[in-house]
């Protein structure tokens, strides 16, 4: 079971994460160790060539990873977790559609949480990007 | 010598890259195979905990990499180059300062250009993030 | 359908890849865009602490990726493909068991082939390492 | 100043790391947060096409990273440190020469140590591979 609700995520984003508001991230589904996030298509996301820019795809992937952490750990620790490493492969140019990121935990350790994210252009089941990374949980008493 | 001027970069960003306008990327210096970009501090870049968010750091790194490609290759090809892989390590939380990204080419091949970016919090010479990645040049005649 | 047989792989390894002989890689299964490889447990694979060393896990992951390329492309091109990027996350220390790597293609492009590998300690379905990477196919006529 | 000597490294390798013996790693220089390692050219390192194989380059990079950790932390902790993430870009095929890896710390934190390694083919100052990664120090009392 997730330790956080979709509604809590919306509140956290509005209060604490202006970039997520700008990108229009919408948490669609949360479960223990998994999250699905949508970013509505908008011309403001494009880069040269009319495709959704790499940084927008990385931003939604990182956000989906953060949600996975929030589903797994005590809220006070999870909310302070920080990305230590993120690796992205860009597989195909996304079309002019919504972007959907599906994240799932690979290993939820005491100090590091490893997460995998597959990013889709809505309506196409071939991924546009694949991302792996790690969040570090705050040191106990830290 | 760079194949593109700082002035050309400003025009390209304004015409083609709304995210770079939102983030406030400012190209400061270009040379053959290197670029320095600044992102002015703004509360809109923050995440929980009051530190500049990871996606903002990844966005400036990716943008600096793109500029390096533009300094090295024929403009019509370079502008269509796309990121294939990007890896970031987050070393320290940046303070509430401007962010400066310094990129330099590692290998400018015919098909792939490998680039390294070191990201600083302005006024501190210890990097906040380090990034490596590759851009793919469009296929000839492609 | 795979473009190469398990038997062909064994011959290629013996003729061309002494490290694979040293590590004892054994191709177990090949399909179009996927491969499974086993490395028999041996004390010579260990590092300090008595766990299978990271480089042994990376070597089997890279080899499984290479096999995936061989299943997908014309042999003369595939055999000359080279790794351009490889990223590994080490999730758990493997026990003193055989290591099994399962690789599958993420995107088989004309110039780059992106592949994902999950590495297991035999008998445990929780991965010990997860790897993504890209192989570059030789330029046509190259 | 390094917390470990070159002589200590040789002993550690011989006692604990058979792969390093197989690859013929030779620690050439150690300083606080930096290490240089050589791998003598040998046909057993080659892959198809007659170039030093990717896994051999990753192995020397990972080993050089480990030495950097040993130069920085208390020996009993450092020797138990484990790689959590390693990312390699392969820039050029190495020739039939010795391989030299030069590693330096990027950030030596209490829990994670980030390290960068540049790998050369001896006699050529253009790198053949570039690697970044992190080692996790054991938990205190762990």
How do residues A110-124 score in pLDDT, each as one tens digit? 999 999 999 999 999
Query: Is B89 an interface residue toward C (CB < 8 Å)?
Result: no
In a domain, C1, yes or no: no
- Is the pLDDT at B141 greater than 60? The verdict is no
Please tell me if residue C1 touches chain B, with a CB cutoff of 8 Å. no
Print the SS3 string covering chain C: CCCCCHHHHHHHHHHHCHHHHHHCEEEEEEECCEEEEEECCCHHHEECCCEECHHHHHHHHHHHHHHHHHHHCCHHHHCCCEEEEEEEEECCCCCCCCEEEEEEEEEECCCEEEEEEEEEECCCCCCCEEEEEEEECCCCCC
Judge: C136–B87 Cβ closer than 8 Å, yes or no. Answer: no
Which residue of B16, B51, B85 is in closest CB contact with A88? B85
In this prediction, residue C142 carries a pLDDT of 44
Q: Which range (A72-76, B23-27, D7-11) has the least confidence?
A: D7-11
The per-residue pLDDT for range A84-137, each reduced to its tens digit, is 999 999 999 998 999 999 999 999 999 999 999 999 999 999 999 999 999 999
Using the 8-state DSSP alphabet, how is residue D19 labeled?
A: H
Task: Among D49, D53, D83, select the one facing C90 at the smallest CB separation.
Answer: D83
Tens-digit pLDDT profile for residues B62-75: 999 999 999 999 99
Exposed, middle or buried: residue D138 (CB in 10 Å: 0-12, 13-18, 19+)?
A: middle
How many Cβ atoms sit within 10 Å of the Cβ of residue B85? Answer: 26
Q: Is residue B1 situated within a structural domain?
A: no
Exposure b/e, B13-28, CB count within 10 A at least 16 = b: beeebbbbebbbbbbe
Q: Residue B14 falls within a domain, yes or no?
A: yes
Domain membership flag for residue A70: yes
Q: What is the pTM of this model?
A: 0.96
Answer yes or no: is A103 within a domain: yes
Bridge partner list, A38: A26, A100
C-alpha to C-alpha distance for D30 and D104, rounded to whole angstroms: 10
Closest Cβ–Cβ partner in B85, B110, B139 for C134: B85
Chain-chain contact of C49 with D80 (C-beta, under 8 angstroms): yes
- For chain D, which residues score pLDDT lower than 50? 142
CA distances from A82 to A55, A65, A87, A137, B93 (A): 18, 10, 15, 7, 9
B141 domain-assigned: no
Fill in the DSSP letter of residue A141: T
Which backbone phi and psi does A51 adopt, to 5 degrees? -115, 155
Does residue B142 form part of some domain? Answer: no
pLDDT value, residue A142: 43
Please enumerate, as own/partner, the contacts of D18-25 that have beta carbons within 8 Å and a separation of 24 or more. Answer: D18/C43, D18/C44, D18/C45, D18/C46, D19/C44, D19/C45, D19/C47, D19/C53, D19/C55, D19/C56, D19/D59, D20/D59, D20/D63, D22/C22, D22/C44, D23/D56, D23/D59, D23/D60, D23/D63, D25/D59, D25/D60, D25/D63
Structure-token match 């790391």, residue found: D17
Residue D44: how many other CB atoms lie within 10 Å = 15
Express the helix, strand and coil content of chain B in percent, nearest 5 each. Answer: 30, 40, 30
Predicted confidence (pLDDT) at residue C101 exceeds the cutoff of 60:
yes
Is residue A141 predicted with pLDDT exceeding 60? no
Q: What is the CATH number of the domain that holds C107?
A: 3.10.129.10
Q: Could you tell me which chain D residue has the CA closest to the CA of A87? A: D87
Closest CA to C100 of C56, C136, C137: C56
Per the CB < 8 A criterion, the answer to whether A85 and A134 are in contact is yes
| Domains in chain C, number | 1
Please check whether residue A76 lies inside any domain of the structure: yes
Higher pLDDT, A9 or D41: D41
Please list every residue in chain D whose beta carbon sits closer than 8 Å to the beta carbon of residue C56: 19
CB contact under 8 A, A85 and D110: no
B112 with C84: Cβ contact below 8 A: yes
Mapped onto helix, strand or coil, the DSSP state of residue A128 is coil
> How many Cβ atoms are within 10 Å of C79's Cβ, its own excluded?
18
ipTM for this prediction = 0.95
The whole-angstrom separation of Cα C122 and Cα C94 is 9
Residues of C in contact with B139 (CB under 8 A): 110-111
Structural domain containing residue B122: 6-136
Residue C62, both tokens:
């890279």
Residue of A86, A89, A121, A132 to mutate, interface with C, max C Cβ within 10 Å: A89
């Amino acid at each position: 079971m997730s330790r956080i609700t979709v509604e809590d995520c919306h509140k956290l984003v509005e209060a604490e994460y202006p970039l997520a508001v700008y990108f229009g991230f919408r948490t669609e589904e949360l479960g223990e160790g998994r999250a699905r996030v949508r970013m509505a298509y908008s011309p403001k996301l494009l880069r040269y060539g009319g495709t959704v820019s790499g940084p927008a795809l990385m931003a939604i992937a990182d956000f989906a990873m953060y949600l996975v952490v929030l589903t797994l750990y005590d809220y006070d620790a999870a909310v302070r977790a920080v990305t230590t490493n993120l690796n992205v492969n860009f597989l195909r140019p996304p079309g002019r559609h919504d972007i959907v990121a599906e994240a799932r935990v690979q290993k939820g350790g005491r100090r590091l949480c490893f997460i995998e994210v597959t990013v889709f252009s809505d309506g196409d089941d071939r991924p546009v990007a694949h991302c792996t990374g790690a969040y570090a949980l705050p040191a106990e008493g830290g």
